[in-house]
Amino acid sequence: MNFTKLLGSLSLILLTTSSLNAQGAYYDYKARCLGVELDGSATVECYGKGRNYWDAAEQAKKNAVNAILFTGIKEGNGGCSRDPIVLSSSIRELQQDYFANFFSDDGPYTEFVSMKDERIMNKVKRNRKKSKRMQQRQVVVRVDKLGLKKRLKEDEIID
């Protein structure tokens, strides 16, 4: 009887552990606020996935800008605005061509993001996961929120 309970408990632990590992492999990390600069820019820790280091880092930059534009930064130290710049979800749908071009490789989003706050130790100790086909990287980026907002107003995307 005790052996049966032990075997049942052991199988439950193994099942739980394997399901946690499966979830971890596909977990999407959210952007996290590290601070706000006096020029209005936000320092954000973000993750990206790609086929190599550079693709993953570029995707992380896009994810940081995307979070500031459409979802707001809800994680981290609370210094960043929790509200996104684009408040209406319908704007993204109505302006699909604009945002597809905006987030294209070497697109206009690159004007508003920099790696100024990336420290050498972050580059050495950066959280990373690697599989046969994909890499996931954590990067620290600075996003020019005021510049983004100004650009979207000039392009008549927001009021």
Give tens-digit pLDDT for 21-57. Answer: 334 445 557 899 999 988 889 999 999 999 988 899 9
pTM confidence score = 0.74
- pLDDT score of 78: 74
Band of pLDDT at residue 89, cut at 50, 70 and 90: confident
Q: Which sequence spans correspond to the domains of the chain? A: 29-154
CA dist 71 → 44, 65, 78, 157 (Å): 13, 10, 14, 16
Q: Where are the beta strands (DSSP E) in 3-127?
A: 32-36, 42-50, 75-76, 113-114
DSSP state of 104: S
